[in-house]
Structure 1
């Protein structure tokens, strides 16, 4: 074990400090400063800041040539009010670390301590703290940042804690592990009228009534195979909250979800064609926009093999669990230029679910996750 008991105590308190002061996507300046200070305290050979926004990377150089191996954590919390009664609950109204990113950062902080005490023999170890994971924009911004070219990992690894699995048990598979998804906003433009004379306007109400079930009908879930598709209507509004105005504008928000990026292309085409047909039929203007765009995560066999060896060496039980999973993860972008894989670490079978207002990261996972990643780094870099 490369961590001392004192390390575990201090890293736990560091994690709880992050939990008290969360930042949401795109606003992680304070968290990034805390991370950079931690990396500096371990003597990182280089600290890169401002990656894709507030991203931070700590680089630990080996003495000999070798691969660059990156381990990623996330900086951001969520815009949700925490209701937990733990002493370290969020002190920021309406914001909280309810997905465990504070714990993922603590795992990388543990790696930083270990790498600071003993550098890799060869290659480079990179600890990447990514911004804006929750809205799907962060990884793309990091990868497109010119500073990322200086990192250019050959391998990339990540984990996510997962309530519903036994505490400390891991899940890992090759191939797709989490779905592609994106938020689709459909805007329908007509013409308002007096509520007593709606015939003089052009209401989008009938179009909304047709589109909502039709969109859902494009994908109702089912087995997580290549044909999996799901459309969830998450929000809709028609007109203004007034009794004297017949509506002239409407919006429908829907989340599109498929197992793979290729499947997403087909689902997007079908959803756009449906919206266009209904708008044309009703004589309405149409605008479509997307946000929260997540690629699917694909675990490369070679990267999975490294994680399997590390899990076995550290006696961490694992199987395929319930993978692949419906939720999306922003880590998939890093697989474009690196041999990448992520695994999932159980947070407890009865632990509050991710994004629940009473969720809190289990501190016992800090040492377990750090052991697996450090074993991976030592096996690959010496």
Structure 2
């Protein structure tokens, strides 16, 4: 193990400090400063800040030329109130690290300490702390940032803790590992009327009532199938809260989800066809927009093979688990630039679920995740 007992104590407290001071997507300025301080104290050869917003990359140069290997963690917390009696619980009302990104950052902080003491034999290691994963905007912004060209990787790796799976066990597969998803906002507009004479207006009521079950009905298959599709209506609104007005405005928000990006293109076309037909049938105008767009996440066989060797060498049990998974991850944007792989690290079968108000990252995972990443790094770069 490349970490000392003192390292473990200090990294645990560092993680808990992040947990006390969460910042949500796009607001991670103080978290980024904390990361920069950590990287500087670990002896990073160079630090690139302001990547795609508040992103930070620590660069550790090898002794000889070679490939660039990147490891990614996320900076952002969630806009959810934490319910906890832990001394390190969130100090910010309505915001909390309830997905474990604080723990993922601590794992990369552990790598930074190890690399500061022993540089790679060749190539360079990049520790990327990415902003705005929860909204799907962060990885895309990082990749689009001109500064990313300085650190373009030859391999990129990530992990995510996973409650509901045995503690310390890993789920890993080749191919699609998490779904593509996007939020679809549908706005239908007609004409108001007096509630006693609704026939003189153009109401979206029938269109909204028709579309909600029709959209969810586009779902098909299981996540194990290439044809998997799911539509979840998450919000709907009609008119204003008044008894005297027949409405003119209707909205539906729905999350579209597919196993692959190609499947998403097909699902979007079907959903838009339904919406446009309903608008036309009810003489309404319609606007469709998309938010929180996540590509599917694809694990490259070559990258997976490196992780499997590391897992075996470190004695970490692994299988396919329940992969692929329905939730989305914007790590897919990074995978479009290099062979990439993400694995899922069990947080315990009875552990509180991700995004639950009583979730907290298990500190004992820091060492396991760091060992696997460091072994992967040493196998590639020496």
Following superposition, which runs of at least 4 residues in structure 1 exceed 3 angstroms of deviation? none
Q: What does 1:282-293 align with in structure 2 at a 5 Å threshold?
A: 282-293=282-293
Are 1:163 and 2:163 an aligned pair? yes
Q: CA deviation at 1:163?
A: 0.3
Number of residue pairs matched? 382
- Local SS of the residue matching 2:331: helix
Structure 2: how far apart are the matches of 1:15 and 1:193? 57
Runs of at least 5 residues in structure 2 that lack an aligned partner in the other structure = none
The residue number in structure 2 matching 1:103 is: 103
Quick one: structure 1 residues 223 and 136, their matched pair in 2 at CA, closer, same or farther if it must change by over 3 Å? closer
Q: CA deviation at 1:42?
A: 0.7
Q: CA deviation at 1:225?
A: 1.2
Q: CA deviation at 1:336?
A: 1.0
Task: Confirm or deny: 8 A CA contact 2:59 2:127 kept in the other structure.
Answer: yes
Q: CA deviation at 1:221?
A: 4.8
| TM-score, L = length of structure 2 | 0.99
- Local SS of the residue matching 1:330: coil
Q: What does 1:1-382 align with in structure 2 at a 5 Å threshold?
A: 1-382=1-382
Structure 2: how far apart are the matches of 1:148 and 1:25? 19
Structure 2: how far apart are the matches of 1:177 and 1:159? 12
Task: Confirm or deny: 8 A CA contact 2:220 2:227 kept in the other structure.
Answer: no
Q: CA deviation at 1:224?
A: 2.2
Structure 1: how far apart are the matches of 2:97 and 2:245? 42
Q: CA deviation at 1:222?
A: 2.5
Structure 1: how far apart are the matches of 2:289 and 2:224? 26
Q: Alignment RMSD, CA only?
A: 0.7
Structure 1: how far apart are the matches of 2:35 and 2:327? 27
- Local SS of the residue matching 1:65: strand
Q: Which deviations, in whole Å up to 9, do the C-alpha atoms of 1:216-249 show, x marking residues without a partner?
A: 0011453421100000000000011111211100
Structure 1: how far apart are the matches of 2:41 and 2:241? 55
Q: Which deviations, in whole Å up to 9, do the C-alpha atoms of 1:126-157 show, x marking residues without a partner?
A: 00000000010100000000000000100000
Q: CA deviation at 1:201?
A: 1.2
Q: Which deviations, in whole Å up to 9, do the C-alpha atoms of 1:242-299 show, x marking residues without a partner?
A: 1121110010000000000000000000001110010011000000000000000100
| TM-score, L = length of structure 1 | 0.99
Structure 2: how far apart are the matches of 1:330 and 1:62? 29
Task: Confirm or deny: 8 A CA contact 2:223 2:326 kept in the other structure.
Answer: no
Structure 2: how far apart are the matches of 1:195 and 1:92? 45
- Local SS of the residue matching 1:129: strand
Structure 2: how far apart are the matches of 1:278 and 1:367? 54
- Local SS of the residue matching 2:35: helix
Task: Confirm or deny: 8 A CA contact 1:218 1:231 kept in the other structure.
Answer: yes
- Local SS of the residue matching 1:168: coil
Q: CA deviation at 1:86?
A: 0.9
Task: Confirm or deny: 8 A CA contact 1:220 1:231 kept in the other structure.
Answer: no
Q: CA deviation at 1:85?
A: 1.2
